[in-house]
Amino acid sequence: MSNVLQSYLPDQAVNSCLELIKLNGVHLKIVNKRVTRHGDYRRMPDGSHQITINASPNPYRFLITLVHEVAHLMAFEKYGRTIKPHGLEWKRTFQHLMLPFIRPEIFPNNLLPLVARHFKNPKASSSTDTQLALALNKYDLPSDLVPVFELPYGSIFRLYNGKLFKKGSRKVKRIECVELESGRRYLFQPHAEVELIKE
């Protein structure tokens, strides 16, 4: 397992993550990228714990996702299954687990302050923290996808599912876009990555 984790995590985080996995009896599965989620946790019918994480060349996203999912497991075990998945119990558990990793030996200088700020009040997904998400994206493989906020007003773009949208105006923290086929309006995170359609 240590060799596998070395392929996905920052070097200085491998041993601590391995310890978290062993202490909590986690069966870790690394799977092909899913667009809608970075990872998930499930308690299996036999009582064992399974965490599934997208294979990612981005060691910092992988680390945050792994600790996020272990926090679900530990919060449910400590407080019971009736807690909200991303409620106060999970947030406190996530903060506690993540604290030893928030140091310069693990995160580069440009990410460290953003990670530290995010964990003052962690969200259900690091993807909803625009500054952190954009900084993390720099460690992904190069891509032709573009963040919605960089597109000119009125641009047509395609999502991973093939649906076409037209970019509209900003509404507080999100950007309103219209799906061309249905005419329905949707709010997008500014950093959501999409395929610009060249006209």
Per-residue model confidence as pLDDT tens digits over 37-92: 889 999 999 989 999 999 988 999 999 999 999 999 999 999 998 999 899 999 99
Instruction: Assign residue 190 the CATH number of its domain.
Output: 2.30.30
The reply to whether 98 and 7 lie within a common domain is yes
Q: How many domains are contained in the chain?
A: 2
Q: Which residue has the tokens 């799906």?
A: 179
- Whole-structure pTM value: 0.80
Tokens of 16: 């601590």
Q: Is 177 helix (H, G, I), strand (E, B) or coil?
A: strand
Q: How far apart are CA 120 and CA 140, in angstroms?
A: 25
Are the C-beta atoms of 167 and 155 separated by less than 8 Å? yes
